[in-house]
Structure 1
């Protein structure tokens, strides 16, 4: 019995040491330059199209959780094939890039995640199968896209889930003699979600158990706000307000990664002479040839829109965004200049870095290059406390 206790103490000591060196300081060691790859468009944009040299971390989106068994798995055979080859493809051009597999949790999946997180047995199934999937396909980490837990109970269970997930990754790393898997989560832009009854994220658990969170600083406006134009990625006051709530709630800055959008939101103008931010609109803009969704432009489609001679473009310093319009259509978005300024913003706040949704929406790597070059060799652990002047 004494020997068994001694072995247990030794194992727990190893786990604690791994925990100290992996989660407590991991994200601070290097600036995160990330992007999500939506595998469901692989037929038109295969993973071989990614310039992996522009990123430190790439997120494969998405795998799913079976709502009956709670096992994490690819949603179909095509995704399974993409998943199996993804890490090998992107590391061929950039051996240093780290890949994470993202688990979808929006829409109907959120209900299943809620059920899973409420029960110890289903949590264990979710955790063990997710770790096994990541290891099988040589991913360096796992990302949970449970974007908006709906109430205080779900937030509490989210905290328990990530605590158990973290502990399981450390034990698995100890047994496999491999580095612990990274653990991240995509979250609402503020630390408190105002929908239904106001409820807040378990920030203490997040800080202790996740390497960082991907803060979705976009989609503040869109087709659901049809009567006026708006900037869906406005830095002031939306993003700045949200980041401030996270930091005031106790999230260490080096656990915060800023979300950047490679797409715009569009509206149909009510009057061709009223084109400012907040101008009257009659609904979302028309669907575009590739994206095909009303009120939505890939950045590559915005670049095509700008080739029309009757299109005007304005850069707005208040929101740190651009917008373009003709006599009918208005689209708000980030261009290379606004991306550079937002990257400078995250550095002044000593955040860990940025991620893009989504890598396939860029145009000739314009936005990717702007973020990458602006951030340079920045490390959030040694960032200066003095704000830098904005790019002009």
Structure 2
């Protein structure tokens, strides 16, 4: 009787150990788990449109079916922190919402007004600006606010400012997002970054007309890899919160080439350039940009290592077979199958 009981005990223990191993295996994530792509159904495609194209009506003519989020750049206050009425924005928001696209007002920009340093410098001015941003989000039925402050604007007051904006928007159920550049990485505190629902990485402008001594590709594939590795790896931000920024424009270096061109103008002026990342003009200068194959490769990368794509900016795109947005859309839809 004792022997039979011992045998059954051994069998029972073996079953329990196997069960525990299976359970532990299912709970512990492996490196391969972190390589799995973000669910394509929740993958963001964030596009920027210029504020003046809202006023001139070009923005409302855009086909919203290939994006999920639209940022209007840039809707900045005056030096006192007050916002003026933007004609056409309500109509644009209504049109975008009809296609299930969220719309955000983006503030700041690469050439942000210098008075932002004053607006975010003290508690009272920060709170006023935060309240004003929440107010315009309500006024235009926006889905949130996008903060694009760069360089010296990301100062000792930046963290307190984004905390204040988050506090003003959260009770309203509004999004708070940002556009960041890795070159300024040390200036963004972890607490500041934690305030954002998602983060658009400006993975471009590695060089440009402001660096004539450094000609070359301003948005190489390697930069996208490095940027995603830094923000998700070194800084520990969940990949679902990151959007990889893609340029729909190029920069020229050398003789006889413009300083910058939209992708639309590049493919019109230089047939066959859509499948390349650079084109040499007759006078010898070179225009550097991202062609169709590179945009496709970067989209595949983002599907694996990020939660979305960000585009600057939508109206610089080509059309039909030369549309970069069409390439992005095709890759995202293929991932959903």
Q: Normalization by structure 1: what TM-score? A: 0.69
Instruction: Name 2:175's counterpart in structure 1.
Output: 182
Q: Please list, as runs of the form range in 1=range in 2, the aligned pairs for 1:1-392 lying within 5 A after superposition.
A: 30-42=42-54, 46-67=58-79, 69-71=80-82, 73-74=83-84, 80-92=86-98, 94=99, 96-107=100-111, 109=113, 111-149=114-152, 154=155, 156-171=156-171, 173=172, 180-190=173-183, 192=185, 199-207=186-194, 209-227=195-213, 229-236=215-222, 238-247=223-232, 248-269=234-255, 285-286=257-258, 295-307=259-271, 315=276, 322-328=277-283, 329-349=285-305, 351-364=306-319, 366-376=323-333
Q: CA RMSD in A?
A: 2.5
Shift of 1:326: 3.0
For residue 28 of structure 1, report the CA deviation from its aligned partner: 10
C-alpha contact 2:144 2:169 (8 A) present in aligned 1: no
How many Å separate the matches in 1 of 2:106 and 2:157? 19
Distance 1:105 1:65, change over 3 A: farther
Q: CA separation of 1:190/1:249 partners in 2, compared to 1, >3 Å: closer, same or farther?
A: farther
Deviation at 1:85, TM superposition (A): 2.0
Q: Return the alpha-carbon distance in structure 2 between the equivalents of residues 376 and 83 of structure 1.
A: 29
Is 1:32–1:352's contact at 8 Å kept on the other side of the alignment?
yes
Q: Distance in 2 between matches of 1:230 and 1:82?
A: 39
Structure 1 unmatched ranges of 5 or more: 1-26, 174-179, 193-198, 270-283, 287-294, 316-321, 380-392
Contact 1:28 1:254 in 2 (8 A): no
Q: What does the per-residue CA deviation read over 1:221-272, in whole Å, with 9 as the maximum and x for residues that have no partner? A: 1112224531111121x33223322221222222211111111111234xxx
How far does residue 213 in structure 1 lie from its aligned partner after superposition? Answer: 1.3
In the alignment, the residues of structure 2 paired with residue 256 and residue 128 of structure 1 have an alpha-carbon distance, to the nearest angstrom, of 26
Deviations 1:48-69 (A, max 9, x none): 32110010001111211222x2
Q: CA deviation at 1:29?
A: 7.6
SS in 2 for 1:221: coil
C-alpha change, 1:104 and 1:150, in structure 2 (3 Å) is closer
TM-score by length of 2: 0.79
- Relative distance call for 1:118 and 1:42 in structure 2 (3 A) is closer
Whether contact under 8 Å (2:143, 2:174) holds in the other structure is yes
Instruction: Deviation per CA, 1:172-215: give whole Å up to 9, x if none.
Output: x2xxxxxx1010011113462xxxxxx431123312x1101111
Q: Which runs of 5+ in 2 are unaligned?
A: 1-38
